[in-house]
């Protein structure tokens, strides 16, 4: 399909927002840019209404960790609890830049949402974000009575790098003592950054996300600087997979590299047609399905990376997000 017409009209604005490109600026400057772009993406309408929004502080592996609890307008006596990890390449983004996404999840599922402000690279490189997100998920289970109230309906979601973290935490919960999870919703996840996929080439120049910027993100996240080639990645770490110590095979970096994908929670995996991450996300969905995991996989035709954060700018993005959340809601009711 052609590029969504609403997004096609915004191509000059997207190009302007990436000038200079991320790889040419500092993480601090990139974070400021993301905050400015979040205001543009939200449009002129007020935030979508929810029942309540409460900032909280969670105990994290490295100290206090900020989070935000969103409750639905018409809360049942018990409902699902969804832990949300925002996108931003592990380097940018926060509770405020992704406030709209958290509200979308609440309104689309009726769940209580716990949005997590995990540590960012390069100040806190891998595996800090993984550790924080796992800790937040376990906190949610321990405090489920104060959240959605149903211990059988704890779920994870995230977009882009947040989708990566949701997939990774789901694997760790299975392997490292829980908690049990009811479902996972992954929006265009970073599933196998070091893999070789046609969409890495077809959509290398965006819009919105470029592979050059992905290299910048992952270089900072993995503590390697920027512009890192896959064949140069070697660190001292307890890596897992085909080569211990090689982050290319560590499933905490690329969840598709896990040699055991069985017994993971049912998944909704959403990809975008014009996204460089499209094919790795679809490969992860296929691998989950081959391992016996119930999967709903949808490619959002005409969509671009980060469309979940831009529903106010595109009717197509709003429709694709609505469908994804409806699929997720069905899993949460099982």
- Asked if 19 is an active-site residue, the reply is no
pLDDT at residue 18, rounded to an integer: 87
pLDDT at residue 77, rounded to an integer: 83
Whether omega for the bond prior to residue 127 falls within 30 degrees of 0, making it cis, is: yes
Look up the CATH number of the domain holding residue 145: 3.40.50.1820
The rounded distance, in Å, linking the Cα atoms of 53 and 266 is: 28
The count of domains in the chain is 1
The rounded distance, in Å, linking the Cα atoms of 182 and 194 is: 29
> Is 257 inside any structural domain?
no
> Is 47 inside any structural domain?
yes
The rounded distance, in Å, linking the Cα atoms of 215 and 218 is: 5
User: Does residue 256 contact residue 228 with C-beta atoms inside 8 Å?
Assistant: no
Q: Where in the sequence is the domain holding 313, given as residue range(s)?
A: 5-235+265-332
Q: Say which of 37, 160, 309, 314 is annotated catalytic.
A: 160
pLDDT at residue 225, rounded to an integer: 74
pLDDT at residue 236, rounded to an integer: 39
pLDDT at residue 1, rounded to an integer: 87
Q: Say which of 86, 305, 314, 327 is annotated catalytic.
A: 305
- Asked if 305 is an active-site residue, the reply is yes
Q: For the residues of 125-160, what is the DSSP string, one character each?
A: -TTHHHHHHHHHHHHHHHTGGGTTEEEEEEEEEEET
The rounded distance, in Å, linking the Cα atoms of 202 and 54 is: 42
Assign 304 to helix, strand or coil: strand
> Is 321 inside any structural domain?
yes
pLDDT at residue 235, rounded to an integer: 41
- Asked if 160 is an active-site residue, the reply is yes
> Is 240 inside any structural domain?
no
> Is 209 inside any structural domain?
yes
User: Does residue 250 contact residue 240 with C-beta atoms inside 8 Å?
Assistant: yes
pLDDT tens sequence for the chain (334 residues):
899 999 999 999 999 988 999 989 999 999 999 998 887 777 667 899 999 999 999 999 999 999 999 999 987 789 999 999 999 999 999 999 999 999 999 999 999 999 999 999 999 999 999 999 999 999 999 999 999 999 999 999 999 999 999 999 999 999 999 999 999 999 999 999 999 999 999 999 999 999 999 999 999 999 987 655 444 443 434 433 344 468 888 999 999 999 999 999 999 999 999 999 999 999 999 999 999 999 999 999 999 999 999 999 999 999 999 999 999 999 999 7
Q: Say which of 275, 279, 314, 327 is annotated catalytic.
A: 275
Residues with Cβ within 8 Å of 107's Cβ and at least 6 positions away in sequence, in order, are 48, 50, 72, 325
């Amino acid at each position: 399909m052609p590029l969504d017409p609403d997004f096609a009209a915004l191509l000059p604005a997207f190009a302007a927002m990436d000038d200079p490109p991320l790889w040419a600026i500092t993480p601090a400057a990139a974070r400021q840019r993301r905050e400015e772009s979040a205001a543009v993406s939200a449009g002129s309408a007020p935030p979508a209404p929810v029942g309540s929004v409460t900032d909280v502080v969670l105990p994290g592996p490295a100290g206090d960790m900020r989070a935000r609890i969103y409750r639905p307008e018409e809360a049942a006596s018990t409902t699902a609890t969804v832990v949300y990890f925002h996108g931003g390449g592990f380097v940018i983004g926060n509770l405020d830049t992704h406030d709209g996404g958290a509200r979308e999840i609440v309104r689309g599922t009726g769940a209580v949402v716990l949005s997590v402000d995990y540590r960012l690279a390069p100040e806190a490189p891998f595996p800090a974000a993984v550790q924080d997100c796992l800790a937040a998920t376990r906190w949610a289970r321990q405090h489920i009575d104060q959240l959605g109230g149903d211990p059988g309906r704890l779920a994870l979601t995230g977009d882009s790098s947040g989708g990566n973290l949701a997939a990774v935490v789901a694997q760790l919960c299975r392997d490292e003592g829980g908690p049990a999870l009811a479902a996972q919703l992954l929006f265009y996840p970073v599933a196998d950054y070091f893999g070789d996929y046609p969409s890495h080439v077809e959509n290398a120049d965006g819009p919105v996300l470029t592979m050059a910027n992905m290299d910048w993100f992952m270089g900072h996240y993995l503590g390697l600087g920027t512009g890192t080639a896959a064949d140069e990645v070697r660190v001292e770490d307890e890596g897992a997979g085909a080569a211990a110590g090689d982050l290319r095979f560590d499933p905490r970096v690329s969840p598709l590299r896990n040699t055991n994908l069985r017994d993971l929670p049912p998944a909704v995996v959403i990809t975008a047609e014009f996204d460089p991450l499209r094919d790795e996300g679809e490969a992860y969905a296929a691998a989950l399905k081959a391992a016996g995991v119930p999967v709903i996989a949808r490619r959002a035709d005409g969509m671009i990376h980060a469309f979940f954060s831009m529903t106010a700018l595109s009717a197509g993005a709003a429709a694709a997000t609505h469908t994804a959340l409806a699929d997720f809601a069905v899993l949460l009711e099982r």
